[in-house]
C-alpha cells in the first residue's frame, strides 16, 4: 500500500481531478487492450508539462514506480501496472493542449494526450492527415513512445519519420524538461537526441509534446483484393506493383485463409467479396492513393489499378488467380475485422513478428509444418504488412490454454523467428511486460548493456 501522504502531495501538484485513487475509477487504467489486467496504487493525470515534471520528480525522489499510459491501446502490457498494487499510473488523458496546425509548414504541434482520431479530424479541413494508420485509436504520446507503424508503413514509415520535434520530461531527480520541439525538418547542428525517446516506451523520458510533419490527405483511392497464384508469386507481385505504381502504393496487406474465414464468420455486417463465397488460401489487400482529385484528361486511379492488375494476368505463368477491385471501405473492413474475428473464434496467442520480407513465405511454410506436428490444435491465422516484413502471426486455440502451454508455443515460434531467420519478436508492439522475457533471452548482451548505459546517462542528467 502506498503511503497516503504521497497521494496528498501528488494531489497538490495536479489538483483534485488529477488524482484518482477510487478503485472503481481506476479500473479502466488498470486494464490493457489484450488480456492484461493489473492493480494501480493510484492514477495521476497531469494537465501540463510542468505538472508532468513535478510528478516525475516527486516519484523519482520517493522511489514510486510510475507507468506512463497514453491511449492504453498497446498490446504488450506496456501501459498498465502489474498486479502488485505498488505502481502508479501516469495518464496523459488530460494533457490535450496544444493542438496547433501550421499549414505553410505542413506541421502540427500537438500534446501527448491528443488522440489520433481527434488530430485527424482537426487536420482534415486543411487537407492534411497524420498518415500512421492502425486499427486502434491511440494518443500521440504513446504513438511516439512505441514508434507505431501500421498498415501504411510501406508508403509513410513509422512515427519516427513523422516526428520533427519533441518535448520530453526526463526520468531524473528533477523531472528535467528537455525542449527539442523546434520542428525544423533538417538540423545537423547537434546530436539528434529526440531519437532516444522514440520507440523507448517512456523509459528514457516521457513525451509531453510533439511537432509532427503532416501529409496531404488522399483525394483518390483505389483498392483491390488480389489472390496470388501461389506463395512464390507474392514477392513477385510486390516487386511488380512497386515498379508499376511505386509512388501510389500505400498498402500491401496479406491475409491468410484462416484469418479471413474467422472475420467473415464472426464479425457482423462483413460482406464476403469472393466468387461463390470461396475464401482463397491467401489474399492481399492493395491500396493506391493520390493526393489530388480526378482531373480531365487523366486516367482515374481505379482504372489505373485495373490496368496494372490486368497486365499481370498476361504473364506466363500468371501471378494472380483473381483480382477484385472493390469499394475501399468494404475491403478494408475485412482487414480491420481480422483481430476481432480471431478473438471471437478462440483464444489468441498473438505474435507481432518482423522478418526480411523475402523470407516470409519460407518462414510461414516451415513454422506451419512445425506447429502442425507439435500443436495440431492451433489454427494459424496470420496476416500482416508483408511489404515491410511485418506479420501478425496469430494462433487461435479452441479452448483456454494455460500459461505453460502458451510459453511452449511461444518458445517454438520465436526460436525459429530469431535464431533461424534473424527476425524480431516484436516488430511493432514494443517490449512491455509481455515481451520482457524475450528481450532478456534474445537481445544480444551488448545491446542490452549499451541500452541500459545510455538510459542511465539520460536518467541522471539533471542531478
- Calpha distance 360→390 (Å, rounded): 9
Q: Is 358 one of the binding residues for its own copies (CB under 8 A)?
A: yes
Least distance in angstroms from the C-beta of 237 to its own copies: 12
Task: Compute CA distances 261 → 19, 335, 376, 382, 390, whole Å.
Answer: 45, 12, 18, 11, 21
Measured CA angle at 397 (ends 396, 401), to 5 deg: 135
37 neighbors 31 (Cβ within 8 angstroms) = yes
Least distance in angstroms from the C-beta of 209 to its own copies: 15
For its own copies, the binding residue among 21, 82, 102, 366 (CB under 8 A) is 102
Closest to 363 (Cα-Cα) out of 320, 409, 413: 413
158 neighbors 147 (Cβ within 8 angstroms) = yes
Paired residues of 300 in beta bridges:
none
Sign (positive or negative) of CA dihedral 284, 288, 294, 299: negative
Nearer to its own copies, 11 or 455 (CB): 455
- Calpha distance 250→161 (Å, rounded): 15
Nearer to its own copies, 390 or 401 (CB): 390
For its own copies, the binding residue among 31, 117, 182, 365 (CB under 8 A) is 182
- Calpha distance 211→181 (Å, rounded): 6
Nearer to its own copies, 281 or 299 (CB): 299
For its own copies, the binding residue among 252, 304, 375, 393 (CB under 8 A) is 304
N residues, the chain: 463
Nearer to its own copies, 12 or 447 (CB): 447
Least distance in angstroms from the C-beta of 390 to its own copies: 5
- CA-only gyration radius of the chain, Å: 23
Query: Which residues in 14-43 contact its own copies (CB under 8 A)?
Result: none
SS in 3 state form for 167-233?
EEECCCCCCCEEEECCCCCCCCCCCCHHHHHCCCCCCCCEEEEEEEECEECCCEEEEEEEEECCCCH
Q: Is 435 one of the binding residues for its own copies (CB under 8 A)?
A: yes
Least distance in angstroms from the C-beta of 410 to its own copies: 14
For its own copies, the binding residue among 18, 32, 199, 202 (CB under 8 A) is 199
Least distance in angstroms from the C-beta of 451 to its own copies: 4
Label residue 336 exposed, middle or buried (CB < 10 Å: 0-12, 13-18, 19+). Answer: middle
Nearer to its own copies, 28 or 303 (CB): 303
For its own copies, the binding residue among 3, 230, 247, 300 (CB under 8 A) is 247
| Region binding its own copies by CB under 8 A among candidate stretches 6-14, 80-88, 185-193, 323-331 | 185-193
Nearer to its own copies, 16 or 189 (CB): 189
Least distance in angstroms from the C-beta of 1 to its own copies: 34
For its own copies, the binding residue among 149, 228, 273, 341 (CB under 8 A) is 149
Written as one string, the DSSP assignment of 397-408 is: ESS---HHHHHH
Query: Which residues in 62-101 contact its own copies (CB under 8 A)?
Result: none
- Cβ atoms within 10 Å, residue 431: 21
- Calpha distance 225→450 (Å, rounded): 44
| Region binding its own copies by CB under 8 A among candidate stretches 44-52, 114-122, 338-346, 353-361 | 353-361
For its own copies, the binding residue among 72, 87, 146, 434 (CB under 8 A) is 146
For its own copies, the binding residue among 129, 248, 351, 393 (CB under 8 A) is 248
Query: Which residues in 225-244 contact its own copies (CB under 8 A)?
Result: 235, 239, 242-244
CA dihedral 299, 305, 309, 310 (to 10 degrees): -30
Written as one string, the DSSP assignment of 122-140 is: HHGGGTEE-----SS--BH
- Calpha distance 393→350 (Å, rounded): 6
Query: Which residues in 439-458 contact its own copies (CB under 8 A)?
Result: 439, 442-444, 446-451, 453-458
| Region binding its own copies by CB under 8 A among candidate stretches 194-202, 261-269, 275-283, 402-410 | 194-202
Nearer to its own copies, 372 or 422 (CB): 422
Nearer to its own copies, 294 or 372 (CB): 294
Q: Is 291 one of the binding residues for its own copies (CB under 8 A)?
A: yes
Least distance in angstroms from the C-beta of 94 to its own copies: 26
Q: Is 184 one of the binding residues for its own copies (CB under 8 A)?
A: yes
Sign (positive or negative) of CA dihedral 345, 390, 116, 29: positive
3-state secondary structure of 162: helix
For its own copies, the binding residue among 25, 61, 299, 310 (CB under 8 A) is 299
- Calpha distance 285→226 (Å, rounded): 6
| Region binding its own copies by CB under 8 A among candidate stretches 58-66, 89-97, 223-231, 299-307 | 299-307
| Region binding its own copies by CB under 8 A among candidate stretches 193-201, 272-280, 366-374, 401-409 | 193-201
3-state secondary structure of 451: helix
For its own copies, the binding residue among 49, 70, 176, 394 (CB under 8 A) is 176
Nearer to its own copies, 240 or 375 (CB): 240
Which residues, in sequence order, are CB contacts of 60 under 8 Å at separation 6+?
Answer: 171, 172, 173, 175
- Calpha distance 342→65 (Å, rounded): 35
Amino acid at each position: 500500500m502506498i503511503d497516503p501522504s504521497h497521494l496528498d502531495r501528488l494531489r497538490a501538484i495536479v489538483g483534485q481531478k488529477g488524482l484518482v485513487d477510487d478503485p472503481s475509477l481506476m479500473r479502466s487504467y488498470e486494464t490493457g487492450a489484450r488480456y492484461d489486467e493489473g492493480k494501480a496504487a493510484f492514477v495521476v493525470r497531469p494537465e501540463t508539462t510542468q505538472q508532468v515534471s513535478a510528478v516525475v520528480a516527486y516519484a523519482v525522489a520517493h522511489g514510486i514506480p510510475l507507468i506512463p499510459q497514453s491511449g492504453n491501446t498497446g498490446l504488450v502490457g506496456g501501459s498498465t501496472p502489474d498486479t502488485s498494487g505498488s505502481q502508479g499510473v501516469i495518464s496523459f488523458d488530460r494533457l490535450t493542449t496544444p493542438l496547433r496546425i501550421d499549414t505553410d509548414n505542413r506541421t502540427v504541434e500537438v500534446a501527448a494526450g491528443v488522440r489520433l482520431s481527434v488530430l485527424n479530424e482537426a487536420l482534415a479541413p486543411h487537407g492534411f492527415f497524420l498518415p500512421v494508420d492502425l486499427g486502434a485509436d491511440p494518443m500521440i504520446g504513446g504513438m511516439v513512445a512505441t514508434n507505431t507503424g501500421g498498415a501504411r508503413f510501406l508508403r509513410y514509415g513509422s512515427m519516427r519519420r513523422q516526428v520533427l520535434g519533441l518535448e520530453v520530461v526526463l526520468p531524473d531527480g528533477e523531472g528535467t524538461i528537455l525542449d527539442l520541439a523546434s520542428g525544423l525538418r533538417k538540423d545537423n547542428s547537434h546530436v539528434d537526441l529526440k531519437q532516444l525517446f522514440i520507440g523507448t516506451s517512456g523509459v528514457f523520458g516521457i513525451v509531453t509534446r510533439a511537432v509532427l510533419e503532416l501529409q496531404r490527405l488522399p483525394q483518390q483511392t483505389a483498392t483491390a483484393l488480389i489472390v496470388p497464384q501461389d506463395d512464390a508469386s507474392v514477392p513477385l507481385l510486390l516487386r511488380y506493383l512497386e515498379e508499376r505504381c511505386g509512388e501510389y502504393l500505400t498498402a500491401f496487406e496479406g491475409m491468410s485463409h484462416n484469418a479471413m474465414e474467422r472475420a467473415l464468420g464472426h464479425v457482423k455486417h462483413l460482406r464476403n467479396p469472393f466468387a461463390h463465397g470461396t475464401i482463397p488460401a491467401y489474399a492481399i489487400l492493395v491500396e493506391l492513393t493520390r493526393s489530388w482529385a480526378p482531373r480531365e484528361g487523366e486516367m482515374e486511379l481505379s482504372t489505373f489499378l485495373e490496368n496494372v492488375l490486368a497486365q499481370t494476368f498476361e504473364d506466363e505463368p500468371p501471378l494472380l488467380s483473381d483480382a477484385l477491385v472493390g469499394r475501399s471501405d468494404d475491403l478494408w473492413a475485412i482487414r480491420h475485422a481480422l483481430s476481432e474475428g480471431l478473438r471471437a473464434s478462440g483464444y489468441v496467442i498473438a505474435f507481432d513478428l518482423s522478418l526480411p520480407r523475402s523470407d516470409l513465405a519460407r518462414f510461414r511454410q516451415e513454422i506451419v509444418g512445425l506447429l502442425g506436428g507439435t500443436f495440431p490444435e492451433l489454427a494459424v491465422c496470420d496476416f500482416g504488412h508483408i511489404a515491410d516484413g511485418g506479420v501478425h502471426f496469430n494462433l487461435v486455440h479452441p479452448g483456454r490454454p494455460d500459461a505453460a502451454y502458451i510459453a511452449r508455443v511461444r518458445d517454438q515460434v520465436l526460436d525459429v523467428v530469431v535464431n533461424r531467420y534473424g527476425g524480431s519478436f516484436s516488430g511493432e508492439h514494443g517490449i512491455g511486460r509481455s515481451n520482457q522475457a524475450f528481450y532478456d533471452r534474445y537481445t544480444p548482451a551488448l545491446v542490452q548493456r549499451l541500452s541500459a548505459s545510455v538510459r542511465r546517462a539520460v536518467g541522471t542528467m539533471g542531478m
